[in-house]
Amino acid sequence: DAKTTQPTSMDCAEGRAANLPCNHSTISGNEYVYWYRQIHSQGPQYIIHGLKNNETNEMASLIITEDRKSSTLILPHATLRDTAVYYCIVETYGGATNKLIFGTGTLLAVQP
């Protein structure tokens, strides 16, 4: 079973920041937070991952709370092409099987 809880859906205006929350209250010390997204009719796409420090790359920023029980994915300037289902996943880094367990994710709808 997925170890995270996400809202089913969210809306965001084009050009504004999209903030997607994720709760992972049972996360253990060696587990990372991963974010993937799936645009309609495509395979999931990796966005970012982190352990306890905030992370930023060309796609997004990941903010993890100090107690690591929740995190927020931030898309700084959402575009219509960012409309997708966003999955927050908690998993051990470097585990023997490189396996990720997906939940049902958050459907982000970017509105013009």
Partner 1 sequence: DAGVTQSPTHLIKTRGQQVTLRCSPKSGHDTVSWYQQALGQGPQFIFQYYEEEERQRGNFPDRFSGHQFPNYSSELNVNALLLGDSALYLCASSSGSMGWTGELFFGEGSRLTVL
**Options 44, 59, 61, 72; binder of partner 1; rule CB under 8 A:** 44
CA-wise closest residue to 104 among 90, 82, 91, 89 = 89
- Token pair 């920023």 is found at 61
Per rule CB under 8 A, is residue 40 in the interface with partner 1? Answer: no
Per rule CB under 8 A, is residue 99 in the interface with partner 1? Answer: yes
Report how far residue 66's alpha carbon sits from residue 71's, in angstroms, rounded to the nearest whole number.
Answer: 10
- Asked whether the CA dihedral 89, 73, 59, 14 is positive or negative, the reply is positive
Kindly state the smallest distance separating residue 13's Cβ from partner 1, in Å: 25
Residues 66-85 that bind partner 1 (CB under 8 A): 85
Site residues for partner 1 per CB under 8 A = 2, 32, 34, 36, 41-46, 49, 85, 87, 93-105
